[in-house]
């Protein structure tokens, strides 16, 4: 069956450290993968997109990798700050069914 | 502010009723997407319209329907409401329809079915 999973429901890290979030999928073959940030009660906000032919993408303190062999994307926030505390969602379009699929999210808490 | 507007912000209604949620996309965006987010299901894709035509269909129940009008605003109609339909409903928009584009999400409509 098709699945999209994110490594943990919640992740607590200390301010200044690097947060690493994982997105794994099964029985999908996405051409790209997106990461969104969602704050409580608000709509998701787009952060980064990485395509299947790209290994790594960076934007300021954010870095995302995409390994189509492992069927996994890693999302890193370096020098994390309390303001980075939010839920982070991975997402992609299912090439076959054309559905947009979102992961369950990882709730990140950056502790001062 | 994403530029996507949704009305109403909150809606409380009873089982068996019918409601309409409204979405106006960002200026220049031709695609509109509808999502349902409940605590136990996460963000679920319902349906996508591009320039007035249905483009992709997700896990949308037969009791639900949507359309996109010539001015590109969209409406999601939910009928024969059940308790389990209580959720946050998000609309998003993007420039194109391929799926690789950034989606801009609205603030959502919180639906409570009593």
Q: How many CA atoms lie within 13 A of A93 on its CB side?
A: 21
Does the CB of B17 have a partner CB in chain A at under 8 Å? Answer: no
Does the CB of A32 have a partner CB in chain B at under 8 Å? Answer: yes
Structure tokens at B22: 């409204």
What confidence category does residue B32 fall into, taking pLDDT thresholds of 50, 70 and 90? very high
Chain B residues touching residue A3 (CB < 8 angstroms): none
How does pLDDT run along chain A (112 residues), one tens digit per residue?
788 999 878 999 999 999 999 999 998 888 899 999 999 999 999 999 999 899 899 999 999 999 999 999 999 999 999 999 999 999 998 776 678 899 999 999 999 9
Chain A residues touching residue B4 (CB < 8 angstroms): 43
Does the CB of A33 have a partner CB in chain B at under 8 Å? Answer: no
Say what the pLDDT of residue A93 is: 85
Taking CA atoms, what residue in A is nearest to B33? Answer: A100
Taking CA atoms, what residue in A is nearest to B92? Answer: A43
Tell me what percent of the residues of chain B surpass a pLDDT of 70: 99
Chain B residues touching residue A98 (CB < 8 angstroms): 55-57, 99
What is the average pLDDT score of chain B?
94
Give the burial string for B13-27 (b: 16+ CB within 10 Å, else e).
beeeeebebebbbbe
Whole-angstrom Cα distance, residue B74 to residue B90? Answer: 12
Taking CA atoms, what residue in B is nearest to A52? Answer: B100
Say what the pLDDT of residue B41 is: 78
What confidence category does residue B103 fall into, taking pLDDT thresholds of 50, 70 and 90? very high
Q: How many CA atoms lie within 13 A of B52 on its CB side?
A: 3
Cβ contact A99–B58 (<8 Å): yes
**pLDDT above 70 (res B99):** no
Taking CA atoms, what residue in A is nearest to B99? Answer: A93
Gyration radius from chain B CA atoms: 13
Q: Summarize pLDDT for B38-94 with one digit per residue, the tens.
A: 987 789 999 999 999 999 999 899 999 999 999 999 999 999 999 999 999 999 999
Whole-angstrom Cα distance, residue B78 to residue B91? Answer: 14
Say what the pLDDT of residue A43 is: 95
Best to test chain B binding among A2, A89, A99, A105 (most B CBs inside 10 Å): A99
Nearest to B33 among A41, A46, A100 (CB): A100
The answer to whether A94 and A101 have CB atoms below 8 angstroms apart is yes
The answer to whether B26 and B3 have CB atoms below 8 angstroms apart is yes
């Amino acid at each position: 069956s098709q699945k999209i999973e994110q490594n943990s429901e919640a992740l607590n890290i200390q301010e200044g450290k690097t947060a690493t979030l994982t997105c794994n999928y099964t029985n999908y073959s996405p051409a790209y993968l997106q990461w969104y940030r969602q704050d409580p009660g608000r709509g998701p906000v787009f952060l980064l997109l990485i395509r299947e032919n790209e290994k790594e993408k960076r934007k300021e303190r954010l870095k995302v990798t995409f390994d189509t062999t492992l069927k996994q994307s890693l999302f890193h926030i370096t020098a994390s700050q309390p303001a980075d505390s939010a839920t982070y969602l991975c997402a992609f379009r299912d090439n076959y069914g054309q559905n947009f699929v979102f992961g369950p999210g990882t709730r990140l808490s950056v502790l001062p | 502010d994403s530029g996507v507007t949704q009305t109403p912000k909150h809606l409380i209604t009873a089982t068996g009723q019918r409601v309409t949620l409204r979405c106006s996309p960002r200026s220049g965006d031709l695609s509109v997407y509808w999502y349902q987010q409940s605590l136990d299901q996460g963000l679920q894709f319902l349906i996508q319209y591009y320039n007035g035509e249905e483009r992709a269909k997700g896990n949308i129940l037969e009791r639900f329907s949507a359309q996109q009008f010539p001015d590109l605003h969209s409406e999601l109609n939910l009928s024969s409401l059940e308790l389990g339909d209580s959720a946050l409903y998000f609309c998003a928009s993007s420039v194109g329809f391929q799926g690789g584009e950034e989606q801009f999400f609205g603030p959502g409509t919180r639906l409570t079915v009593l």
